[in-house]
Structure 1
Amino acid sequence: MNQNIFFIIAILFAVTSCTVDKTDYEAEISTEVTEHFEFTEVLSIDKGEFEIRIEALNGTFYKGYNDIRLKIINTQTNAIINASEVTFLPIMTTTTGNTVSCPHSYNLEYRSENSYYSGYAVFVSESNSSSHWELYLSFTVNNQKHTVTQHVSVAEQANKNLGMTMFTGHDNEQYIIALIAPQKPKIAENELVAGIYKYNQAQNESETFPDPSQFSYSEADGYTLLLDPRMPEPSMGNHSSLHNQDLTQQSDGLYYGVVNYTMTGNWTLNFMLQDQNAQLVKGTAVSTDFTPGIEGEKSELYIDILF
């Protein structure tokens, strides 16, 4: 895998002031921030006697975190198949032939109550003229393994509260942090949810493609994500807020904390990531000084949001 591809350049959002007389944030919120709760079909794949249906929120794969639901249908009976060893591997290929994956659930988990396979993918880049994404799927029915390869489109994430960042830590490991919730924050204390993932460097090159061991990520277990939210606009003086809580990992593998937004506008979530031994992996402390008229200082590890 070409390691340089890990460092995808993030799209820079236009910087606007959070003062009411300069920007109508109510209008911006109403047009740009849409909450999605319904899973609808992203694509359907015909595999002879089987049909594979993949669903995601709003029927779209976005750059960043995506919950995924997969169903396998018998095309003769229209019955849902309870297959085994259902795997999911997204791979992006550039025009130069380099390949890279992203954090994902390789072995999908069957949810018997709803008869679908559950997983996630954190797409690190949207589809464009220089790169494209393909899904490599497999499943076993009656001891016979079936494989499917399907091109998919990944859209830019328009919701500026669901950003992500990629970086190399002081431990020389490669990490990805992806925001998951809230989709639409409130002027209040909000539960902040994020996924933190680490790339598993392959020990040996493989002549088989696609070899899952060459594209493996894992959840970063037992870390702590220290949080310092601030409004970096010069007019806001880089002020913070009270009652924020650092993010810690819960039983579902995701990280939960609290961010207190005191007003709408541009906010920066400044982070410091610590490992299981409280050793700093990435991030710098931000000065607590109030700096009106000066653009606010940011940690070396941060994600900008807007609501």
Structure 2
Amino acid sequence: MKSYKFLVIALFCVITSCTIDKTDYQAEIGSEVPEYYEFKEAVSLSSGNYKISIEALNGTFFKGYNELHLKIINIQTNQDVSSSEVTFLPILSAADGSKTSCPHNYNLQYVPTNKYFAGYCVFTSESTKANSWKLYVNFTANNQKYDISKDISVEKQSNKNLNMTAFTGKDDKQYVIALVSPQKPKVSENKLVAGIYKYNKPTAPAGVFPDPSQYSYSQVRGYTLKLDPRMPEPSMGNHSSPNNQDLTQQNDGLYHGVVNYTMTGNWTLNLIMINQNGLILKGTVVPTDFTPGEEGVKSELYIDTLF
């Protein structure tokens, strides 16, 4: 009897994976999930004899994780500036006048082989009429300090494989989890990379705006992100897949694991975040029941994807 039951479930998965819905997902991939690998200038700033160029993938700032390359050029000599100390601070201004930031590198590091300062920024919202982003960049050249700021536009992230989520953990701290890769997964085991960041609550009153101590974030250290991917749509029965690996932190500071997508379509990455002391800070176990015809239950901590 058990064998018959498992056979019925297997047949159901095969049949539903070949429906028109799947074809629609494939068409959506072709039009909405581009892959970007070329860095282009997203914004430029200038002060005195210096031009600052900030590059991002496809020359666009997106909501979520953005790898950034910052170049400083002396426009008189056309030479790159490499010895400068560079700081980078994004500020989000809301309609009510409040100001916040997002996970970012404040002190950028120079990469000699590529001749740029490397960093990242996890924009937590796109730009709107009510919410606007501004970058504050400081650098020192020839013993002179330069402070520059400029409004920027942050676009909606149309690639759900690069989604993010922000939440408060059971330790009352504010966290952000952002997917970094893959941009476009395959029907197979995929290397999954994410960043986990924590807001560092200020310990002293604010100084002169923009005081970086009021907007500080850091990568969390030594956490584990337990992973349970499911297809939550009613036709999929909230089934999972084998050979997934939880995300753990590697030398680059990011969290690496494996997600096995067994077919194209909507997937939910159900997560449980555990700190270095083994305490669950967010997330719940997802039931293992196969539920055809019903929308699947999600963890209290999850990120939706689609490919």
TM tier relative to shorter chain: over 0.9
Instruction: Write the letter of the residue equivalent to 2:55.
Output: E
Gaps (5+ residues) in structure 1? 1-16
Question: 2:66 corresponds to which residue?
Answer: 66
Question: How far has the Cα of 1:77 moved from its partner?
Answer: 1.4
Post-superposition Cα deviations, 1:182-217, rounded to whole Å, max 9, x if no partner, equal 000000000000000000000122141000000000
Post-superposition Cα deviations, 1:208-255, rounded to whole Å, max 9, x if no partner, equal 100000000000100000000000001110000000000000000000
Question: 1:275 corresponds to which residue?
Answer: 275
Contact 2:244 2:257 in 1 (8 A): yes
Instruction: Write the letter of the residue equivalent to 1:21.
Output: I
- Output aligned runs, 1:195-274, within 5 Å: 195-274=195-274
**Which structure has the larger Rg?**
2
Post-superposition Cα deviations, 1:48-105, rounded to whole Å, max 9, x if no partner, equal 2000011000100000000000000011111111232200000000111100000000
Question: 2:9 corresponds to which residue?
Answer: none
Question: 2:126 corresponds to which residue?
Answer: 126
Question: 1:4 corresponds to which residue?
Answer: none
Cα RMSD of the aligned pairs, angstroms, is 1.1
Instruction: Write the letter of the residue equivalent to 2:19.
Output: V
Matches of 1:243 and 1:170, distance apart in 2:
29
More helix by share: 2
- What is the aligned residue count? 291
Instruction: Write the letter of the residue equivalent to 1:292.
Output: P
Question: How far has the Cα of 1:19 moved from its partner?
Answer: 5.8
Sequence identity of aligned pairs in percent? 62
Contact 1:19 1:235 in 2 (8 A): no
Matches of 2:166 and 2:281, distance apart in 1:
13
- The secondary structure found in structure 1 opposite 2:26 is helix
Q: Does 202-211 or 30-39 show the bigger shift? A: 202-211
- Output aligned runs, 1:59-138, within 5 Å: 59-138=59-138
Matches of 1:18 and 1:209, distance apart in 2:
54
Instruction: Write the letter of the residue equivalent to 2:134.
Output: E
Q: Does 20-29 or 135-144 show the bigger shift? A: 20-29
Matches of 1:73 and 1:176, distance apart in 2:
33
Question: How far has the Cα of 1:18 moved from its partner?
Answer: 6.7
Contact 2:46 2:148 in 1 (8 A): no
Gaps (5+ residues) in structure 2? 1-15
TM-score (norm 2): 0.93
Matches of 2:223 and 2:130, distance apart in 1:
35
- The secondary structure found in structure 1 opposite 2:20 is coil
Question: How far has the Cα of 1:272 moved from its partner?
Answer: 0.2
